[in-house]
Amino acid sequence: MSLLRVAGLSKSFGGLKAVDDVSFDLEAGQLLALLGPNGAGKSTCFNMVNGQLPPSSGSIRLDGQELVGMRPRDIWRLGVGRTFQIAATFNSMTVIENVQMALVSRERKTFGLWKPAGSRYADEALALLDQVGMAADANRACGVLAYGDVKRVELAIALANRPRLLLMDEPTAGMAPKERNELMALTKRLVTEHKIGVLFTEHSMDVVFAYADRLIVLARGKLIAEGDADTIRNDPRVQEVYFGTGKTFQPHAPLHEAAGGHQGQGALQ
Ligand SMILES: Nc1ncnc2c1ncn2[C@@H]1O[C@H](COP(=O)(O)OP(=O)(O)OP(=O)(O)O)[C@@H](O)[C@H]1O
Ligand SMILES: [Mg+2]
């Protein structure tokens, strides 16, 4: 059974079909990239999977369990996590306190009752920080960390909830190529080890082609292609959506830059 099975998923806003009969599967331990030009429906898909937005129709199953109709918090309790959504208090706490707080939240499965974590979960928090290469920085204030290190702590926080499925919206936005590759290599290693499925959007093609196990492409709400990097790179419909006919993918350049000068297709996300 697939970890995530999306079937016939649709969402209309008034007369606009933002997501139109989309179906795909995601297996545990896999990274699935969700691509498409601006307005393709990527965020709308994400928001339906995490329960923020009710679908107009369709089904979203996690290990066979229907998520449609459930509240976001209940979906989170089942192990659907999001990275890069950090608490407002993040900067005022140390690295280890942030991870401890996430562990306490996992225990209570409610953010409303949070009290200072104190020394609870210190060992487990340190073990998580070790996995993301941040154990030596455990007692530093998060407010002083470099951007790439914040991303590592965010990953530790996401893992604290023992997610089965992680939703990552542009995980490497704003990062330099070297940091970007390090973060994705780390993510790939951790999700493989923990058998977590990852659904991510990403505008940088080097990341997508290097790290995604499979890719799906949306255009105007419809799924127009799916497959591995080679399949997607060579798909004429995908090339047409991004570049107009006759153009080919440039896998080592961020697509929105590669597409510079072409009108109307927008940046890839
Ligand atoms: N709450 C809303 N109400 C009305 N229309 C919406 C709403 N949210 C999204 N849309 C529309 O639905 C379509 C899909 O939007 P969505 O944000 O899912 O695209 P996206 O693929 O994430 O785009 P981007 O790459 O720009 O982030 C767009 O036309 C958008 O304007
Ligand atoms: Mg979006």
Q: What is the 3-state secondary structure (H, E, C) of 68-94?
A: CCCCHHHHHHCCEEECCCCCCCHHHCE
CB of 13 sitting under 6 A from ligand 1: yes
CB contact at 8 A, 183 and 1: no
From the CA of 61, how far away is ligand 2's center (Å)? 22
Atom of ligand 1 nearest to the CA of 11: 12
Residue with the smallest CA separation from ligand 1 atom 18 is 41
CB of 44 sitting under 6 A from ligand 1: yes
Atom of ligand 1 nearest to the CA of 218: 21
From the CA of 117, how far away is ligand 2's center (Å)? 34
Residue with the smallest CA separation from ligand 1 atom 8 is 44
Task: Count CA atoms closer than 13 A to 2's CA, side-chain side.
Answer: 15
Which helix or strand (DSSP H or E) is residue 125 part of?
helix 122-131
* Structure confidence at residue 105 (pLDDT): 79
Whole-number Å distance between alpha carbons of 203 and 252: 12
CB of 54 sitting under 6 A from ligand 1: no
Query: How do the pLDDT tens digits run along the chain, 269 residues long?
Result: 899 999 999 999 999 999 999 999 999 999 999 999 889 999 999 999 999 999 999 999 999 999 999 999 899 889 998 875 565 677 889 999 999 988 887 776 555 555 555 567 889 999 999 999 999 999 999 989 988 898 899 899 989 888 999 998 888 887 888 888 888 999 999 999 999 999 998 878 888 889 999 999 999 999 999 999 999 989 999 888 876 644 455 544 444 443 333 333 334 43
Q: What values do phi and psi take at 253, rounded to 5?
A: -110, 145
Name the nearest CA neighbour of 132 among 190, 90, 210, 46: 190
* Structure confidence at residue 163 (pLDDT): 92
Which helix or strand (DSSP H or E) is residue 214 part of?
strand 214-219
- Radius of gyration (C-alpha) of the chain in whole angstroms: 19
From the CA of 35, how far away is ligand 2's center (Å)? 10
* Structure confidence at residue 87 (pLDDT): 59
Domains of the chain: 4-79+163-268 (3.40.50.300), 87-161 (no CATH)
* Structure confidence at residue 173 (pLDDT): 80
CB of 32 sitting under 6 A from ligand 1: no
Q: How many CB atoms lie within 10 A of CB 246?
A: 8
From the CA of 124, how far away is ligand 1's center (Å)? 39
Residue with the smallest CA separation from ligand 1 atom 9 is 44
Stated pTM of the model: 0.84
* Structure confidence at residue 258 (pLDDT): 39
From the CA of 43, how far away is ligand 2's center (Å)? 4
CB of 41 sitting under 6 A from ligand 1: yes
Ligand nearest to the CA of 47: 1
* Structure confidence at residue 49 (pLDDT): 96
User: Which whole-number Å values give the CA distances from 218 to 120, 122, 128, 232, 255, in the listed order?
Assistant: 44, 43, 35, 12, 15
**Secondary structure letter of residue 116 according to DSSP:** -
Long-range contacts of 140-149 (CB under 8 A, 24+ apart): 140/94, 140/95, 141/91, 141/92, 141/93, 141/94, 141/95, 142/90, 142/91, 142/92, 142/93, 142/94, 142/95, 142/98, 143/91, 143/92, 145/95, 147/174, 147/175, 147/179, 148/175, 148/179, 148/182, 148/183
Q: Give every CB contact of residue 97 below 8 A, 6+ residues apart in sequence.
A: 117
Ligand nearest to the CA of 37: 1
Residue with the smallest CA separation from ligand 1 atom 5 is 13
CB of 197 sitting under 6 A from ligand 1: no
CB of 36 sitting under 6 A from ligand 1: yes
